[in-house]
Structure 1
Amino acid sequence: MNSSNLWMVSIPLCYEVNGSCSRTIYSFGVQLAIYMACAMGMLLTVLGNLMVLIAVSHFKALHTPTNFLLLSLALADLLLGLTVLPFSAIRSVESCWYFGDDFCRLHTFLDTLFCLTSIFHLCFISIDRHYAICDPLLYPTKFTIRVACIYIGISWGVPSVYTFVFLYTGEIEEGLDHFFQDVPCVGSCQLLFNKLWGWINFPLFFFPCLIMITLYVKIFIVANRQARQISNLNRSSGSGLPLEASKRERKAAKTLGIAVGIYLVCWLPFTIDTLVDCLLNFITPPVLFDVLIWFAYFNSACNPLIYVFSYRWFRKAVKLVLTSLENDTARLFPPNVKITYII
């Protein structure tokens, strides 16, 4: 069979040195398709989160505690798209790491930092929405700018310390050699994917997921109960004014449900795979691993679409930004109107 008819052809080495990783060369069409898919993912991640940053930063009416959380989330996802995804795309397509061990460690640090930071933000946003819907009267006093800053500090601080300790602190590795898998060959960048890291990573991704699911179920129950109460009030009083509140609560529950669902679709396969690899001595093929990790990356592109782009006020804000109508803020937000939350 002619090699040009093969979907992929294996080349022995990434580098012409002993111990080099084997390299996989895809046909031109497949290689181009993968690069385009990765480029589209990066473009969606960068542009979507950049629009969130610009809109929330520019319009003072959007300077609320919840929106500051979204602003910080967008920053983490934007940095992931700018600093991590381009090199991950090259590694996925070329099946080799060409940027050296030091940069591999830095790339892994940033990758884990931004992904964990994004997940922590999603968890805190769920907590914020839980208070807003389940305890609306006390919500303005419970979730203030100060509380939002504390949540943001935890979301950045804990992942930073955790990742730094496991990547740059030599003391952690002492006495734990039986847990760690050495880098298998020259040209590989998989420092984090060892047994110890896999066992610790699983609860780090699983518990925020469990928190979000629990809060979503409670929010869904409370939102339905409030909707029924408002509907009964409308029928008894003949007033339709509270109807907007009912729609708002239902939209909040629906939005958070979509967020949790997409989070599960994006992160659960990768998280389960890392745990299975720990138990079965890293049996995941490199191609499958790349697919799973890019599914996880895709969550950062979805966050602006879930939390922000589905709202009319944000689409209007983006339109004003894109058309350079910076002096028309009053058309978007009438005087004495302040947006307290977006979902």
Structure 2
Amino acid sequence: MENSSLAWPGNDSTSLQIELPSCATLRSQISRILLYAFLSAGVVCTVVGNFLVVLSISYFKQLQSPTNSFVLSLAVADCLVGLLVMPFSMIRTVEGCWYFGPLFCKFHSSLDVMLCTASIFHLSCIAFDRYYAVCNPLVYSLKMSNSHVAQLIAICWTVPMLISFGPIMLDLHIAYVDIFIPSDVCVFLVNRIYAVMASLVAFYLPMAIMLVAYWKIFKAAKRQAKQISAMESQMASGVGKDSSKKKRHRNTMKREGKAAKTLGIIMGVFLIFWMPFFTVNIVDPFIEYSTEVVVWDVFLWLGYINSSLNPFLYGFFNRCFRRAFLMFLGCRVFLMNSRNISLEKYIVFIFSYILCESTSS
């Protein structure tokens, strides 16, 4: 999901001239160090935060639910963004040039589009899951069975792969096939059709699903709030024979409403951080590719930051995730009973031990 500033040479419709700065150092040493420090902190937060989500859901059975299956897969996608995409984008942003060759430029661009799109798709699936949990709880277990969840997760990875690696590696996305791009420059120059179609599939359609789902969830939550208030009034006055059942129902509605509110905040953050990039991504081919490089870099890194923020939003709003994070970071998970441990949990033990050692050193 990269781009660059391009110039339109007169009325010539067969070629474009790239106006890019040379690969000479364009920034002072101090500004480069500060940029590396700031962006490296973002990379570390993305990897460590999402890795904690993966460890927590994999280890604690209390966190293993249909919703958290999407959260786990989302954390894997965001963690891969931090491991495979952000470090190379950071070097290109700070240094102003590309050191890894044209082939890896295409591969990196494909990974970028695929993983960021997969992250967005997972967020829309979470909204879909919450819609059934809050608005249609009677059919939730049927609609969100293990097989259906697995199918949705497969779609979240397959569709982004089809719209990224296929067109990009085959050069179907580029605006002009006869354009020459130096090997020390990595730009993502897309034609109008690809810009519109990819943006619609990767962002605007998932955004529409999220907005519709959360609007219905919001109305259902208001209706449930009135029901909870009525139940509390009945229990306070001693009305109703099965108060324990009503109390459990009230707590369930509260829990679902709180989860929907948390995920709604996550969706709002997602819209704020990704909307600028995808808006410019569609507009730029229609304004003769005149968007400045620095604008692309800022909007792109805003999108990357969304992958960094999701784990912290879970930890801040979800008590179970917060406890799990603290247990891993405090190395308290090793104090738990380890008899009859499964191979999966043993692997989690190893990774959490490495994480614990790295945070304590």
TM range (shorter): 0.7 to 0.9
- The corresponding residue for 1:79 is 80
Q: Secondary structure of the equivalent of 1:25? A: coil
Which shifted more, 249-258 or 38-47? 249-258
**Equivalence for 1:211:** 209
TM-score, length-scaled by structure 1: 0.83
Q: 2:10 matched to which residue of 1? A: none
Contact 1:130–1:219, Cα closer than 8 Å, also in 2: yes
CA drift of 1:261 comes to 1.2
Shift, 1:115, TM fit: 0.4
> Do the aligned residues in 2 keep the contact of 1:77 with 1:301 (CA within 8 Å)?
yes
- Specify which of 257, 260, 265 is matched with residue 258 of structure 1: 265
Aligned residue pair count: 308
User: Do residues 300 (structure 1) and 307 (structure 2) align?
Assistant: yes
Q: Deviations over 1:30-56 (max 9, x none)?
A: 222211121111011001000011111
Deviations 1:195-239 (A, max 9, x none): 333122221211111110111111011011111112112213426
- The one-letter amino acid paired with 1:198 is A
1:132 equivalenced with 2:133 (yes/no): yes
1:148-163 aligned within 5 A: 148-163=149-164
Q: Secondary structure at the match of 1:191?
A: coil
Q: Give 1:341's aligned residue.
A: none
Tell me what 1:4 maps to: none
State the 1:305 CA deviation: 2.1
Indicate conservation of the 8 Å contact 1:180/1:194, yes or no.
Answer: no
Matched, 1:53 2:51: no
Give the alignment's TM-score, normalised by structure 2: 0.79
SS in 1 for 2:97: coil
Cα offset for 1:243?
4.6
1:182 and 1:198 mapped to 2: Cα distance? Answer: 18
Instruction: Give, in whole Å, the separation in 2 of the partners of 1:79 and 1:69.
Output: 15
Q: Which amino acid aligns with 2:320?
A: W
CA RMSD of aligned residues (A): 2.4
- Which structure ranks higher in relative contact order (CA pairs < 8 Å, sequence separation ≥ 6)? 2
Separation (CA, whole Å) in 2 of partners of 1:280 and 1:153: 36
Change over 3 Å in CA distance of 1:153–1:192 after alignment to 2: farther
Distance 1:148 1:66 in 2: 9
Q: Which residue of 1 aligns with 2:179?
A: 182
Percentage identity across paired residues of the two chains: 39
What does residue range 106-145 of structure 1 map to in structure 2 within 5 Å?
106-145=107-146
Tell me if the contact between 2:134 and 2:257 (Cα under 8 Å) persists in the aligned partners.
no
- State which of 209, 217, 220 in structure 1 corresponds to 2:218: 220
**Residue 22, structure 1, aligned to residue 22, structure 2:** yes
Q: Structure 2 stretches of 5 or more lacking a match?
A: 1-18, 237-242, 339-361
1:75-108 per-residue CA deviation (whole Å, 9 max, x = no partner) reads: 1110110011000000001110111001101111
Q: What are the ranges of 5 or more consecutive residues in structure 1 without an aligned counterpart? A: 1-18, 331-343
Give per-residue Cα distances to partners, 1:108-128, cap 9 Å, x unaligned: 111111001101100101000
Change in CA separation of 1:153 and 1:181 when aligned onto 2, cut-off 3 Å: farther
Q: Distance in 2 between matches of 1:55 and 1:66?
A: 14
1:3 corresponds in structure 2 to none
3-state DSSP of counterpart to 2:137: coil
Q: 1:274: which partner in 2?
A: 281
Match 1:233 to one of 231, 234, 237: 231
Cα drift, residue 190 of structure 1: 1.5
Q: Describe the superposition over 1:135-170 as per-residue Cα deviations: whole angstroms up to 9, x where unpaired.
A: 112212221111111111000111112212202236
SS in 1 for 2:26: strand
Mean CA deviation greater in 248-257 or 121-130: 248-257
The whole-number CA distance in structure 2 between the counterparts of 1:256 and 1:181 is 46
Q: C-alpha separation between the residues in 2 aligned to 1:20 and 1:278? A: 17
